[in-house]
Amino acid sequence: MNARFSVIFTIMVGYAIIFGVSFNMRSFSFFDETASCFADAEKEVSMYKNVIIIPALNPPDRFTGYVLDLIAHGFERILLIDDGSDADHRPLFDSLARQKQVTVLRHAVNLGKGRALKDAFNYALVSWPEDYAGVITADSDGQHTVEDVTKISEALDKNENTLLLGTRDFSGPSVPFKSRNGNKITSVVFRLLYGQDLRDTQTGLRGIPRALLGPYMTLDGERFEYEMNMLIYNARYGAPPEQIFIQTVYFDSNSETHFRPFADSFKIYRLILGSFFKYILASLSSALLDLGVFHLAMLALGRMRDAAAIVTATVAARVISSLYNFIVNRNAVFESGGSASGQMLRYYTLCAAQLALSAGLVVAVDALLGWNKTAEKAVVDSVLFLISYQIQRAWVFRVDKR
């Protein structure tokens, strides 16, 4: 009896030990899996190290919820610039500043969006380690959804040198008239002058690689025109921007915007058209110089036969005026570096081609239409003048992409 009891007891103890070990192993496995889930969740929440930059001037009440939503989606570095907001909005910024993910920079007076962005770029470069791909700029009125900000941030992680533009669709019925038409006109002008087809030149949602922050900080512009200057700089020195489609959101027909239709539009178009106006002035001054040198040469060659004097004076005037035009275009209009000899060769190649085209097209137009020859030449040369601007920008005085 005792022997049988001992055997049964031994078997029961064995089962208990085996079951206990198995239970403990399953328990450890369960806790390991749970800890792993928490670790993955923590990793997912803290994955966005790119800096969110939001300039704000008297932002709407929904601004607080917008920033908290960005935090909830895992953005660790949110830089707000209080660009001279009134005293009533001070508690809003103070409340957000208490969030560990939020830093607030303050301007005592309104200095403009351009200044706010440049101050923010500087802060991002000097205050955080080099563990982020770049910054994302967004507007304070909530037009840029958190989902779109996240989309830009994820795209920014995949490139180091390309400007990203959040591009809206302006064809919808909710788009205010002035926004739709203003953007279309600006996009057309930008394409004609800079050769890039940007569907949304006014977007404030942009992904800017860290490598571009320093160069962008040196650009002119203190208000809304600064964002246009970024696009112009990028068209000259950078790769074409990557355009990422985002939602088109407007609140109350965009009545909360601080954009000044006349003052800010004037500054923007002064930037866009600046190089082209300088190109026109350079051409006009070259023409005046050509006439002046021709007149002086004719006076100096008074004793020479008329035909020989005219040819000599024409050649001298054209050599001097074209050299002047080359120097002005290179240094003042297109502000190009690089090899002057290579650019001069391309410049005079273009001049020769333009001269031949002018003569050939005038002859062709005259044979076809039989208009006044002077009028025909004026039309042909005007078209060639515009084409020459594009060729000089893109080929003669092209700059190395940085």
What pLDDT does 338 receive?
Answer: 81
- 364 shares its domain with 247: no
| Stated length of the chain | 402
What pLDDT does 5 receive?
Answer: 42
Domain boundary among 220, 246, 265: 265
- 232 shares its domain with 368: no
In b/e form, how buried is each residue of 34-71, taking b as 16+ CB within 10 angstroms? eeeeeeeeeeeeeebbbbbbbbbbbbbeebeebbbbbb
Residue 402 in any domain: the answer is no
What pLDDT does 46 receive?
Answer: 44
- 134 shares its domain with 254: yes
- 208 shares its domain with 333: no
- Count H helices, E strands: the chain? 13, 7
Residue 401 in any domain: the answer is no
Helix, strand, coil content of the chain in percent (nearest 5):
65, 10, 30
- CB-CB contact of 139 with 116 (8 Å): no
> How far is CA 312 from each of CA 285, 289, 298, 385, rounded to the nearest angstrom?
21, 16, 9, 26
For residue 124, the one-letter residue type is A
Domain boundary among 233, 265, 297: 265
Q: What is the pLDDT of residues 259-274, one digit of tens each?
A: 676 777 888 889 899 9
Rounded Cα gap, residues 326 and 388, in angstroms:
13
What pLDDT does 256 receive?
Answer: 56
* Domain span including residue 291: 276-396
Q: Looking up tokens 């969740």, which residue turns up?
A: 41
- 88 shares its domain with 28: no
Our CA dihedral for 114, 115, 117, 121, rounded to 10 degrees, sits at 130
Tokens of 385: 């003048």
- 61 shares its domain with 157: yes
Sheet of 51-56: strands edge to edge?
102-107, 78-83, 51-56, 134-137, 206-209, 164-167, 242-245
What pLDDT does 307 receive?
Answer: 82
For residue 51, the one-letter residue type is V
Residue 270 in any domain: the answer is no
> How far is CA 147 from each of CA 10, 51, 59, rounded to the nearest angstrom?
64, 15, 20
- 237 shares its domain with 125: yes
Structural domain total, the chain:
3
Residue 219 in any domain: the answer is yes
Which stretches of the chain score pLDDT less than 50? 1-46
**Exposed, middle or buried by CB within 10 Å (0-12, 13-18, 19+), for 234?**
buried
Averaged pLDDT score across all residues of the chain: 86
Paired strand residues for 208: 135
133 CA to centre of own chain: 16
Q: Looking up tokens 């320093």, which residue turns up?
A: 214
- 39 shares its domain with 52: no
Rounded Cα gap, residues 124 and 130, in angstroms:
10
Helix locations, 74-176, DSSP H: 90-97, 113-127, 146-156
Say which DSSP state 239 is in: P
Rounded Cα gap, residues 377 and 42, in angstroms:
72
Rounded Cα gap, residues 197 and 188, in angstroms:
8
- Please give the model's pTM, rounded to 2 decimal places: 0.80
Residue 105 in any domain: the answer is yes
253 CA to centre of own chain: 25
Domain boundary among 211, 242, 265: 265
CATH number at residue 219: 3.90.550.10
- 238 shares its domain with 337: no
What pLDDT does 171 receive?
Answer: 81
- CB-CB contact of 254 with 176 (8 Å): yes
> How far is CA 204 from each of CA 113, 167, 228, 398, rounded to the nearest angstrom?
10, 9, 10, 28
- 216 shares its domain with 329: no
- 304 shares its domain with 228: no
Residue 271 in any domain: the answer is no
- 8 shares its domain with 86: no
User: Can you spell out the DSSP letters for 172-206?
Assistant: STTS-HHHHHHHHHHHHHHHHHH----S-TT---E
Residue 71 in any domain: the answer is yes
Query: How many C-beta atoms surround the C-beta of residue 375 within 10 A?
Result: 11
What pLDDT does 47 receive?
Answer: 60
Residue 375 in any domain: the answer is yes
